[in-house]
A and B are shown apart, each in its own frame.
Chain A
Amino acid sequence: MAHITLPPGLPGIRGPMAFRPETAGPLNELVDVLLQGPHTLSKGERELIATFVSARNDCRFCQTIHGAVAACHLDGDEDLVVQVKEDPERASISDKLKALLVIAGKTAESGKSVTAADVELARRHGATDLEIHDAVLIAAVFCLCNRYVDGLATWTPEDPAYYRERAPLVAENGYAASTSASPKQYDSA
């Protein structure tokens, strides 16, 4: 049971977001820009970073839903998502993404663990400043989301079907539109 009384029937972050729409608005906007906005990293790659960080933080809700959304963007390749969570260095992804995942993993430990050498490696594999910035910020944002979800002991559905059914909705419409009962309310936020 969650630590506080949340609107019923909403798993994971959706419970506290419905409880506190004033903070859900800016949070969803941030996640939409980072994961769904125009970018030189594909949506699949960005969702893999989110999934990887959530797995490192052992947040079951976030790693499962973002893993499912990542798979949606990657032609249903759930194996690749598992590979990235378990051992990104050996996963079938670009060297650039591997280097960005190293930065994301360090950010999740502590921002201070990211070294000039980590950034240099990412740059050598073609990462731009914006891609490095966004890898750090995606990792930092998921350190927020993971703590928000687990710090309130929100409901984590056991059934994988929940995540598989919800993922295409999020992949298609984004987070703000899929989280809010009436997405319009965030338009002017």
Chain B
Amino acid sequence: MRELAEVLLRGPNTLSSGEREMIAAFVSSRNDCQFCHNSHRAAAAHHLDGDYELVDAVKRDYETARVSSKLKALLAIAGKVQQDGRSVTTADVDRARGEGATDLEIHDTVLIAAAFSMFNRYVDGLATFTPTDPDAYDEMGRRMAREGYVRKSG
């Protein structure tokens, strides 16, 4: 599972890690998963020079946030996947393509949204411990952004 997160959020990609972490934070926020939302919000901010404002703006209303039109179109797809995969329409995909999204970017957006639909349920379905201290998440996000998700042995 860590490996999946590592490839999706930090592997080589034409979408930046900041953009991909914003998709993760956005989906987790829609699923109301506090742990995933706060930690990926912080990870996104650390990839974006500490710009928590931008991450929060995306969650509030990505259409008016200072992000590319391509990312807006991808967030629209991610939001649909979060509800139900079948709600993604050809028009959603055409819009993303019209803004320059590649098949791989569309694929990864769908899979990031689907993966966080899993992580969020895993965390909340077991009622895991959720820290409430914002500093704890900032530190977590810093580590996620710098060191990633796969623990290095030795």
Where the two chains meet, the residues of A that have a C-beta atom closer than 8 Å to any C-beta of B are 3-5, 16, 19-20, 22-23, 25-27, 30, 57-59, 103, 106-108, 110-112, 114, 116, 132-133, 136-137, 139-141, 143-153, 189
B15 at the interface (CB under 8 A from A): no
Q: Does more than half of chain A's interface fall in helix, strand or loop, or is it mixed?
A: helix
| A111–B86 alpha-carbon span in the complex (Å) | 21
Q: Could you say which residues of chain A place their CB within 8 Å of the CB of B117?
A: 140, 143-144, 147
Taking a contact as CB atoms under 8 Å apart, the answer to whether B111 and A148 are in contact is yes
Taking a contact as CB atoms under 8 Å apart, the answer to whether B7 and A4 are in contact is no
Q: Could you say which residues of chain B place their CB within 8 Å of the CB of A150?
A: 84-86, 88
Q: Could you say which residues of chain B place their CB within 8 Å of the CB of A108?
A: 121
Interchain residue pairs with CB less than 8 A apart (5): A103-B125, A110-B124, A114-B124, A136-B125, A147-B117
Instruction: Tell me the chain B residues, 60-82 only, with Cβ under 8 Å from chain A.
Output: 77, 80-82
Q: Could you say which residues of chain A place their CB within 8 Å of the CB of B108?
A: 20, 23
Q: A3-B93, A151-B114, A189-B3 are in contact. Are A112 and B107 (CB under 8 A)?
A: no
Most B Cβ at <10 Å: residue of A5, A20, A25, A149? A20
- Proximity bits, B90-131, A CB within 8 Å = 1, else 0: 100100000000011011101101110111111111110000
Closest-CB distance, A82 to chain B (whole angstroms): 22
- Proximity bits, B42-62, A CB within 8 Å = 1, else 0: 000000000000000000000
Taking a contact as CB atoms under 8 Å apart, the answer to whether B88 and A140 are in contact is no
B31 at the interface (CB under 8 A from A): yes
Sort chain B's interface into a size bin.
35 or more
Q: Could you say which residues of chain B place their CB within 8 Å of the CB of A137?
A: 122
Where the two chains meet, the residues of B that have a C-beta atom closer than 8 Å to any C-beta of A are 1, 3-4, 7-8, 11, 31-33, 77, 80-82, 84-86, 88, 90, 93, 103-104, 106-108, 110-111, 113-115, 117-127
Most B Cβ at <10 Å: residue of A103, A140, A151? A151
Taking a contact as CB atoms under 8 Å apart, the answer to whether B11 and A58 are in contact is no
B111: which of A23, A139, A153 is its contact (CB, 8 Å)? A23
- Pick the 3 closest A-B CB pairs, nearest first: A111-B124, A150-B85, A151-B85
Taking a contact as CB atoms under 8 Å apart, the answer to whether A136 and B126 are in contact is yes
Q: Could you say which residues of chain B place their CB within 8 Å of the CB of A132?
A: 126
Q: Could you say which residues of chain B place their CB within 8 Å of the CB of A23?
A: 4, 7-8, 108, 111
Closest-CB distance, A186 to chain B (whole angstroms): 11
| A119–B122 alpha-carbon span in the complex (Å) | 14
Taking a contact as CB atoms under 8 Å apart, the answer to whether A26 and B118 are in contact is no
Question: Which residue of chain A lies nearest to B123 when distances are taken between CB atoms in the complex?
Answer: A111
Q: Could you say which residues of chain B place their CB within 8 Å of the CB of A58?
A: 84, 86
